[in-house]
Amino acid sequence: MRSRKIEEAIFRGIMIAATLVVLSCSILILATILIKGLPAMNLDMITKTPKGGYYLGKSGGILNAIVGSILLTGGATLVSIFLSLPVALYANVYADKSSKLIAFTRVSLDVLWGVPSIVYGAFGFTIMLFLGLKASLLGGIIAVALLIFPIMSRGMDEVMRMVPKELLNSSYALGATRFETALKVVVRQALPGILSAVLIAFGRGIGDAASVIFTAGFSDRINFSLFEPAATLPLAIFFQLGTPFPEVQERAYASALILTIIVFLISIGSRILIRRYSKHVIK
Amino acid sequence: MESTSHITVQNLNVYYGDNHALKDITINIPDKQITAIIGPSGCGKTTLLRAFNRLIDTVDGVRITGKVLVDGEDIFDPRADVTMVRKKMGLLSQRPYPLPMSIFDNVAYGPKIHGIRKKKVLEEIVEHHLKMASLWEEVRDRLHEPASRLSIGQQQRLCLARGLAVEPEFILADEPTSALDPKSSLYIENRFRELRSQFSIILVTHILRQARRLADYIVFLYLGELIEHGPVNEIFENPREERTREYIRGVIS
Amino acid sequence: MKSRRLFKDNLARSIMWFSAIFCILLVILIGFALFQRSRYILAMKSLADLFFLDSWHPLKGEFGFFPFIMGTLWVTCTAVIISVPLSFLTAIYLSEYAPRMIREWAKPAIDLLAGIPSVIYGVWGILVIVPLTKNYIAPFFGRHSSGYTVFAAGVVLAVMIFPVIIHVSIEVFRSVSFELREASWALGATKWQTIKHVVVRKALPGIIAANVLGFSRAFGETMAVLMVAGNVPKAPSSILDPAYPLPALIANNYGEMLSIPLYDSALLMAALVLFIVVLFFSILSRFALVRVERSSE
């Protein structure tokens, strides 16, 4: 009888310890980025482009990478919305529940979800060679869109699955077509979840380096053209960290802090948006 | 039967996979009356009701034979426009399912889909039908609030207004009071009495007293078969079939 | 009017159907494209040579992937060995024991961890784990090391896959019905006994799936590993040796030196290997998760 209690206590202790280790790792990461990044931070970092090149430049900022990342990920997110929304709507409004096609689609999305971003980078580059594109904003958009659209589709699919069938039926009963029901009822009912899927995908895209390393290239200037190379934040961090100059490495820490803050803002923003757009949702 | 029939069912069979849910139903539903479909649960009441607006189409693995004639046209004809069939049938389901939008948009949703765009016209439609469902006074000042904030009873009346706003010829009601409190139920029943002169109402119910006090005509289903149908007094006072008598006395349920 | 609405509906149906098909086609297309490009090297070298020779000299036309495959395995396995027990225990604690307060704080924190970009993990690895390895861990074992090692990469990856494994595991534990637990408690079992004999057993396929997902994430992770693993093309023989995993190889070299014959083909073959392994593990974990879902319904 006593040994059971002791076993319980021991395992409970181990579990609490494990949880503390995991949680302290996340705190440690944030603390490290904050402690190293804050001293190197200044206004120039987010308002100026680098002087003397990203690799050697010891002054100026990384506005080129911030703008590049936002344009690139924004474009990729837009592309994936137009791909993901139809997939999720087809799976949940048009297709039969027992549809083999949809089962296959879901497995495919899971597979794509797990494909490493470096493979998307390599595959994207192959496609670009095929299309005759060089490393450019457009190339990066293609690769990142491939990377994030499975995440977005699965997210949308999950929330649309939760839409009660009776809700669809009440729209059909009024004489609405499936398409009208999909756009006006399903999308509205699932809106908070859809927004969060979009933002999660955006967050994943903006932080990814391996998919853009060959496809987007890098540039010291701010570039709005689809066919010119564009800088991205993760690569800026990677390159700055790779230099032998401590001053430039310091700048990498500041860049890391900026990227972390952007990712957190997105995460917090998604929570706020979810709350805001939940008012029409029927429980 | 004294009146003509808008809905005529001929040899209707419905199968869900291997399950033969409705067996060779043939019946005329009387016009401008309240017809109650009664029977024990699982007898096919809801299936029959949902055959009338073809909502059973959305069920996986369903197979249908036979005809349902509405205004003389077979609604299961492959050339029939299912959205037009459904427009003729207002549906009130067991639990109110307002659409995820404002009160106003809930009622305006149907008319908008069917091509009405003018704001002024829509406003008139919404007001008129909310009045018909006697919800107008309660919501006139908060038409643009989410429908989800209404009480369940109000939501069911909103669903009624929403269904009426597409100007159907029929009202299909699937145990419309089963999720409501007694007061809200009474409200719905009273609306039905008022609407009887303008619409043919088909009501699925498992509450025999409700069928008796509300309906003009009774259809009794048992295990997918049509056992008996006739005017309410005949069925309740003097059923011809043994099974009807047993069900009414509460022997089978 | 009527026909226009139905036309739109049918058009939308076709477009959406095509999008669904596109997902399936994309998997095939990626596999096919990578295979097409790696055909050149597969035609020149035998698979055994590619996988088991350890000389990597693209200029001399020698493409032995052995050091990189071993590098990947060492790093991934180190990560999994560190991460699996910790994640498992954390998931049990959070889903079964933790008071509501802690759960409500811990779960978003873990999801936040999942959202941190891999390059940030890399920075953290360079700033914390690499010096730690260099100054304390390697000397403790009497070794001299730059700190850029299998161990450093393993630790960074382990932290990266915590949220993946924990998140899925918690979902799986939640799908085990409460009644099942009550039935066990009613027989006088303690909480831990109930977890050990009932909950974990019931959830086992899902837990395995969660870990497989974590494994395949670690397997394909590029940036963080590239930054801390040391990138020496030699098969490691201990966790304090540097390693050069496959994804890092691709990231460091692809797109450059494409004039060297077969180089590009060799790197795309590396990508193909990653793709096939991840494909296999994703499908495996998918089926395990579907089984859990079915059994809990």
Cβ burial of A231 (10 Å; 0-12, 13-18, 19+) is: buried
Measured distance CA(A259)–CA(C122) in Å, rounded: 13
Does C24 reach chain B within 8 Å, measured CB to CB?
A: no
Q: Which of B53, B61, B113 sits opposite A176 (nearest CB)?
A: B113
A contact chains, 3+ CB pairs < 8 A? B, C
Does B179 reach chain A within 8 Å, measured CB to CB?
A: no
Mean pLDDT of C7-24: 93
pLDDT exceeds cutoff 50 at B2: no
pLDDT exceeds cutoff 90 at B203: yes
* Cβ contact, residue pair A122, C94, below 8 Å: no
CATH for the stretch A46-278: 1.10.3720.10
ipTM confidence: 0.90
Residues of A with Cβ-Cβ distance to B163 under 8 angstroms: 173-174
Q: How high is the pLDDT of residue A80? A: 96
Q: How high is the pLDDT of residue A140? A: 94
Mean pLDDT of C74-80: 95
Q: How high is the pLDDT of residue C128? A: 94
Q: At what angle do helices A246-276 and C100-115 cross, to 10 degrees?
A: 130
pLDDT exceeds cutoff 70 at C291: yes
* Cβ contact, residue pair A169, B102, below 8 Å: no
pLDDT tens digits along C213-252: 899 889 989 989 999 998 888 888 888 899 999 999 999 8
Contact C81, C93 (CB under 8 A): no
**Residue length, chain C?**
297
Q: Which of A112, A117, A147, A128 is nearest to A215 (CA)?
A: A128
pLDDT exceeds cutoff 80 at B4: no
Q: Which of A18, A68, B140, A38 is nearest to C83 (CA)?
A: A18
Residues of C with Cβ-Cβ distance to B81 under 8 angstroms: 2, 6
pLDDT tens digits along B6-26: 789 999 999 998 889 999 999
pLDDT exceeds cutoff 80 at A283: no
Q: Which of C90, C123, C213 sits opposite A22 (nearest CB)?
A: C90
* Cβ contact, residue pair C282, A110, below 8 Å: yes
C contact chains, 3+ CB pairs < 8 A? A, B
* Cβ contact, residue pair A166, B97, below 8 Å: yes
Mean pLDDT of C78-92: 94
Q: Label residue C1 by pLDDT band (50, 70, 90).
A: very low
* Cβ contact, residue pair A176, B90, below 8 Å: no
State the distance between the two ends of chain A, measured CA to CA, in whole angstroms. Answer: 47
Highest mean pLDDT among A226-235, C40-49, C75-84, C195-204: C75-84
Mean pLDDT of A89-112: 90
Residues of B with Cβ-Cβ distance to A160 under 8 angstroms: none
Question: Would you state the structure tokens that stand for residue A28, as one six-digit string?
Answer: 């440690």
* Cβ contact, residue pair A7, C274, below 8 Å: no
Residues of A with Cβ-Cβ distance to C35 under 8 angstroms: none
CA angle C48, C52, C55 (to 5 degrees): 120
Longest C-alpha distance within chain B, in Å? 57
* Cβ contact, residue pair A126, C90, below 8 Å: no
Q: How high is the pLDDT of residue C53? A: 80
Q: Which of C122, C247, C255 sits opposite A214 (nearest CB)?
A: C255
Question: Would you state the structure tokens that stand for residue C9, as one six-digit string?
Answer: 């509906």
Residues of C with Cβ-Cβ distance to B115 under 8 angstroms: 1
Average predicted confidence (pLDDT) for chain C:
88
Mean pLDDT of A147-156: 94
Q: How high is the pLDDT of residue A1? A: 60
pLDDT tens digits along A47-74: 788 776 656 666 777 888 999 999 999 9
Mean pLDDT of C1-22: 87
Q: How high is the pLDDT of residue B5? A: 56
Q: Which of A252, A207, A229 is nearest to A55 (CA)?
A: A252
| Neighbour count for residue A101 (Cβ, 10 Å) | 15
Average predicted confidence (pLDDT) for chain B:
89
Measured distance CA(B91)–CA(B70) in Å, rounded: 16
Mean pLDDT of B187-204: 91
Mean pLDDT of C17-28: 94
pLDDT exceeds cutoff 80 at C258: no
Mean pLDDT of C78-97: 93
Average predicted confidence (pLDDT) for chain A:
89
pLDDT exceeds cutoff 50 at C256: yes
pLDDT tens digits along B113-150: 888 899 999 999 999 999 999 899 999 999 999 999 99
pLDDT exceeds cutoff 80 at A34: yes
Give one DSSP letter per residue of chain C, joined into a string: -HHHHHHHHHHHHHHHHHHHHHHHHHHHHHHHHHHHHHHHHHHHS-HHHHHH---EEGGGTEE--HHHHHHHHHHHHHHHHHHHHHHHHHHHIIIIIS-HHHHHHHHHHHHHHHHS-HHHHHHHIIIIIHHHIIIIIHHHTT----S-SHHHHHHHHHHHHHHHHHHHHHHHHHHS-HHHHHHHHHTT--HHHHIIIIIHHHHHHHHHHHHHHHHHHHHH--HHHHHHSB--SS--SSTTS-B--HHHHHHHHTTS-TTSTTHHHHHHHHHHHHHHHHHHHHHHHHHHHHHHHHHH-
Task: Output the CA torsion B154→B157→B159→B161 (10° steps).
Answer: -130
Does C4 reach chain B within 8 Å, measured CB to CB?
A: no
Q: Label residue B41 by pLDDT band (50, 70, 90).
A: confident
* Cβ contact, residue pair B113, A280, below 8 Å: no
Longest C-alpha distance within chain C, in Å? 83
Contact A208, C120 (CB under 8 A): no
| Neighbour count for residue A115 (Cβ, 10 Å) | 24
Contact A143, A212 (CB under 8 A): yes
Backbone angles phi, psi at C254, to 5 degrees: -70, 145
Question: Would you state the structure tokens that stand for residue A226, as one six-digit string?
Answer: 């689809």
Q: Can you list the domains of chain C with their CATH numbers?
A: 66-295 (1.10.3720.10)
Q: How high is the pLDDT of residue A40? A: 85
Within 8 A by CB and 6+ apart from B7, the residues are B28, B29, B52, B68, B69, B70, B170, B200, B202
Q: Label residue A112 by pLDDT band (50, 70, 90).
A: very high
pLDDT-wise least confident of A206-220, B36-50, C156-170, C255-269: C255-269
Q: Label residue B1 by pLDDT band (50, 70, 90).
A: very low
Mean pLDDT of C121-137: 93
Classify B171 as helix, strand or coil.
strand
Measured distance CA(A177)–CA(C16) in Å, rounded: 15
